[in-house]
Amino acid sequence: MLTISPELQAKIVAHARADHPDEACGVIAGPAGSDRPQRFIPMLNAERSPTFYRFDSMEQLRVWREMDERGEEPVVIYHSHTATQAYPSRTDISYASEPGAHYVVVSTRDPDQVEFRSFRIVDGLVTEEEVQVAGGDREREPGVE
Amino acid sequence: MAIEVRIPTILRTYTAGAKSVEGSGATLGEVLGDLESRHHGLRDRLVDDAGLRRFVNVYLNDEDVRFLGGLETPVADGDTVTVLPAVAGGGS
């Protein structure tokens, strides 16, 4: 299960909406081993593409070093799909390289409907997990097909 | 000469869990070849027939080796090589 504050969830959705129709991507860092996403880090999509994302390699080095120095890890890795459902695509699965991370996918295909789902991706296997939005009225954001 | 090579979580199965290992060589390619003798299988995850794998980022100190000389990049004692899997994907 992913537990995330409503503020952080809103920041992910706002980033995805702002970059639409290109895909948006980023990280939420948290203390290593805590499983608590705390520090929102929007990343550049070096591909600037509606169908693909890739972290800029130099920005990634800087951010990963910073997390290391602060004793953090990437608790959430998020990106948006702009024309398809919020479910990991084949490319998402083949490039997933952080087995400890929650992979959040947001779809911006419908301007009025939020699709916000979270997955574990380990060794090519996708497992959807519940999203618990803590600290707000909404206990759960159900996924929408 | 010793080059420190920092290994990402997903590849630490090849280094018995170590976050960094030491290698030697005059170029990045030689260092990876040297590591392979002690950490069998690691090189294959970083390099294919065409050179560095597309979705692996390798840095020499603060530079992406793609903007230096790839596997031919010269390395020197005290340099640090950092390996990070690219974070990538997309909706179609």
Q: Is A87 left (phi over 0), alpha (psi -120 to 50) or beta?
A: beta
Could you tell me which residue, B22 or A137, shows the higher pLDDT?
B22
| Sign of the torsion formed by the C-alpha atoms of B5, B9, B13 and B18 | positive
Q: What is the pLDDT of residues B48-72, one digit of tens each?
A: 999 999 899 999 999 999 999 999 9
Domain ranges of chain B: 3-85
Domain ranges of chain A: 2-133
Q: Is A145 exposed, middle or buried (0-12, 13-18, 19+ CB in 10 A)?
A: exposed
A7 vs B1, more confident: A7
Which residues pair with residue A3 across a beta bridge? A132
Q: Can you tell me the distance from the alpha carbon of B83 to that of B5, in angstroms, rounded to the nearest whole number?
A: 7
> CA of B79 to nearest chain A CA: how many angstroms apart?
16
Buried b (16+ CB within 10 A) or exposed e, B44-77: eebbeeeebeeebbbbbeeebbeebeebebebee
Residue A125 class from Cβ within 10 Å (0-12 exposed, 13-18 middle, 19+ buried)? exposed
Cα A61–Cα A66–Cα A72 angle in degrees, nearest 5: 115
Distance CA A124, CA A112 (A): 32
Chunked mean pLDDT (size 10), chain A, 145 residues? 96 97 97 95 96 97 96 97 96 92 97 96 95 67 49
The CATH code belonging to domain A2-133 is 3.40.140.10
- Using CB atoms, pick whichever of B10, B57, B89 lies closest to residue A53: B89
CA-closest candidate to residue B66, choices A96, A60, A42, A73: A60
Q: What is the pLDDT of residue A136?
A: 46
pLDDT of residue B91: 82
**Is the per-residue pLDDT at B83 higher than 90?**
yes
Q: Which residues of B touch A (CB under 8 A)?
A: 8-10, 55, 57, 59, 62, 64, 66, 82, 84-92
Nearest beta carbon to residue A54 from set B59, B88, B92: B88
Residue B86 has pLDDT above 60, yes or no: yes
A89/B91 touch (CB, cutoff 8 Å), yes or no: yes
- For residue B9, give the chain A residue with the closest CA: A98
User: Interface pTM (ipTM) of the complex?
Assistant: 0.91
CATH topology for B3-85 is Ubiquitin-like (UB roll) (3.10.20)
Q: Considering CB atoms only, which of A49, A95, A99 is closest to B86?
A: A95
Q: What is the pTM of this model?
A: 0.89
